[in-house]
Amino acid sequence: MADRLRQSLHNAILIRLNMAEQRSQVSRPWDSQLRTADSNPKPLEPGAHIADVFDRRDVGGKLLILGAPGAGKTTTMLDLAANLVQRANAQPDQPIPVMFNLSSWRNAKQSIADWLQSELKLKYGVSQKVGRRWLEEKTLLPLLDGLDELPTERQEPAAEAINTWLQSGEGPTRLLVCSRIEEYELYAKKLALNGAICLDPLTDGQLQDYLNSMGQGELWDTLQQDAALLELVRTPLLLSVSILANEAIDPVQWRQKQTTQARVTYLLDAYVERRLHEVVEIQAYLPGKQPAAQQTRRWLVWLARRLKTQSEDEFLIEKMRPDMLATRQQRWLYGLIYGLIGGLFAGLIYGLFAGLIYGLIGGLIYGLIGGLFAGLIYGLIFGLIGGPTSIDTVESFDFSFSRFARKDFLKQLRNWLIVRLIGGLIFGLIVGLIIGLIGGLIFGLIGGLIGGLIGGLIAGLKTEVAIRVEPNQGIRTSLKNLAILLAMAIPIAFLLRAALPLLLANILDAEAIDSIVVVTSALLLLASIYDSSAACAQHFALRVVLHRANAIPWNYARFLNHCTERLLMQRVGGRYRFIHKLVQEHFASMPLGQE
């Protein structure tokens, strides 16, 4: 929360916004039994702190914050959060404030409690068990932002889901929700909270005092002479944009803008141009190596469009998905690269073990040629019919006893064993045409057992990293786990190499035993590292294709850090987001090929 507040575009606007109480915007439990007093907006005392309103006896810590786009809703929420964090640190019995963005609530059948558990795990590294306990014990104080950022058809269902949660008795003792007022006023049912405030536009006195304190007295003189611009900058966001883009605003072009939307677009255009071209101290790139303004704009337009399509407000590099590919040609190329990498890798492993029996050079050549051919076929088929729409990383493992005892883990392990054993027996029957029926069935049983056991263990024990502190951390940890799993599997594979000939000596001939040893040893290694290697190969192939299409830079983290330094993006740990939702929407509306 501290990082979000520090990097906020209008963090410099430290004016305490005026607020008006709007009781008609919430459905309080007692409103159906008592005739309330005046429901018209009631201005609060100038300079009132949001924490004082939140703590009021009639509000009881259940509050709705409304406002126009850029009015300072999120900043006000962060201001309250900072106060609540200090309170929780000083008084352990106080609930812990945690921020959530409702834009990630996609499933209307998912309860708010279940969604919060998944968000706690995904965003804060809190296990499902701990998250569930915290919610049951009402240890958390949820701060829900971005109700209006959901697609229109899901906004009111989300509000109803919040009401259901609160009225069930399982909801929190305190709750804060933020939304744009324009969208919220269209809902048929209001939130079942105790109070609502709407952030007022900045007054002339607030604007003048702030601009004078910033040494921007000339801008105040300009604003007084332009009523349209003065009205527009009464929100903290657009005031910040105007200050930062002041030198890029052409008075002649500005006066030609006749509508409010056209003026907002012009201001944001001016802001973006200023941030792209201004000479600033950049740490992400060496001098002279940073991308050109046109290229930066194109990459940000592509990213903003992807986030809009996926209804996301945050971006994780490791969570890039194959469904980001726009054309069939890109999907074919992605599948081809992924298939070739996988085929060469599998061929290398098979060739190493074949080389132990048939000669190292011959085994490697045989394995690599076979793997290349298989990868080429797989890649073409993968690109033609499609494949997974997500990249499933292997980031960490949970070896706790409770994990092994969980029903879903045992069920997953059983399913993997059944599927792999059936697949192994079918493949073994085919192999039996070459090495004999008994040998094929033995091969199928051993291979299926190994693949199912290892695959089930990895699938059941793998978890995501707790806290993402670095960009692309998921892929990095998957690559590290690939090496760890390979190091663990190699000794077991060599043990099979020594033990299987002794166990099968009286059943099969030497040639069949050698074939089983080679294939099962290779299967052991491949089963151990399949998930990690597949995720890394998929991610690499996706990055290659998107970079080739000029949709992303090759070093994505460095580029996004560069945009953070230019106040176009924010970074919190390994997550990135646009500096403001309006800025994201502005980039998403730009033509992709804009120069």
Alpha carbon separation from 339 to 342, 352, 369 (Å, rounded): 5, 20, 14
| Phi, psi angles (nearest 5°) of residue 20 | -125, 130
pLDDT of residue 423: 54
Q: Are residues 148 and 274 in the same domain?
A: no
Query: Residues 6 or more apart from 551 whose CB is under 8 A from it?
Result: 299, 302, 324
Domain coverage including residue 82:
18-201
Nearest to 98 by CA among 77, 75, 114: 77
* Distance between CA atoms of residues 590 and 273, nearest Å: 13
pLDDT > 70: what percent of the chain? 62
Q: How much is the CA Rg of the chain, to the nearest whole Å?
A: 30
Among residues 201, 232, 259, the one where a domain terminates is: 201
pLDDT of residue 349: 62
Q: How confident is the model at residue 535 (pLDDT cuts 50, 70, 90)?
A: confident
> Residue 379 falls within a domain, yes or no?
no
Q: How confident is the model at residue 34 (pLDDT cuts 50, 70, 90)?
A: very low
Among residues 155, 176, 201, the one where a domain terminates is: 201
> Residue 287 falls within a domain, yes or no?
no
Alpha carbon separation from 429 to 238, 243, 374, 588 (Å, rounded): 70, 74, 20, 54
User: Do the beta carbons of residue 99 and residue 1 sit within 8 Å?
Assistant: yes
Q: What angle do CA 435, 440, 443 make, to 5 degrees?
A: 115
User: What number is the average pLDDT over the span 541-570?
Assistant: 91
pLDDT of residue 176: 95
> Does residue 255 surpass a pLDDT of 70?
yes
- Which domain CATH number covers 160? 3.40.50
Q: How confident is the model at residue 5 (pLDDT cuts 50, 70, 90)?
A: very low
> Residue 580 falls within a domain, yes or no?
no
Give me the number of domains the chain comprises.
3
pLDDT in tens, 35-81: 444 456 788 888 788 999 999 998 999 999 998 888 888 888 988 99
pLDDT in tens, 11-28: 444 566 778 888 888 876
> Does residue 415 surpass a pLDDT of 70?
no
Least-confidence region, from 59-63, 281-285, 487-491, 556-560: 487-491
pLDDT in tens, 85-120: 999 999 988 999 999 988 888 777 889 999 999 888
pLDDT of residue 33: 38
> Does residue 523 surpass a pLDDT of 90?
no
* Distance between CA atoms of residues 124 and 467, nearest Å: 6
Q: Are residues 540 and 444 in the same domain?
A: yes
> Residue 350 falls within a domain, yes or no?
no
What does the block give as tokens for 561?
A: 């850090």
Q: Are residues 109 and 171 in the same domain?
A: yes
Q: Are residues 114 and 206 in the same domain?
A: no
Q: Are residues 408 and 453 in the same domain?
A: yes
Q: Are residues 139 and 234 in the same domain?
A: no
Q: Are residues 185 and 36 in the same domain?
A: yes
| DSSP-based three-state secondary structure for 34 | coil
Q: What is the mean pLDDT of the chain?
A: 75
> Does residue 253 surpass a pLDDT of 50?
yes
Buried b (16+ CB within 10 A) or exposed e, 473-509: bbbbbbbebbeebbeebbeebeebbeebeeebeeebe
> Residue 373 falls within a domain, yes or no?
no
> Residue 405 falls within a domain, yes or no?
yes
Q: Are residues 24 and 138 in the same domain?
A: yes
> Residue 316 falls within a domain, yes or no?
no
Q: Are residues 233 and 172 in the same domain?
A: no
Among residues 225, 260, 278, the one where a domain terminates is: 278
**Facing residues of 144 across strands?**
100, 177
- For residue 275, give the amino acid letter: R
> Does residue 410 surpass a pLDDT of 50?
yes
Q: How confident is the model at residue 426 (pLDDT cuts 50, 70, 90)?
A: low
pLDDT of residue 36: 45
Q: Are residues 174 and 271 in the same domain?
A: no
pLDDT in tens, 119-131: 888 778 787 888 8
Q: Are residues 463 and 509 in the same domain?
A: yes
The residue assigned the tokens 């007093």 is 37
Which of 536 and 317 is assigned the larger pLDDT? 317
> Residue 134 falls within a domain, yes or no?
yes
Q: How confident is the model at residue 544 (pLDDT cuts 50, 70, 90)?
A: very high
Q: Are residues 433 and 523 in the same domain?
A: yes
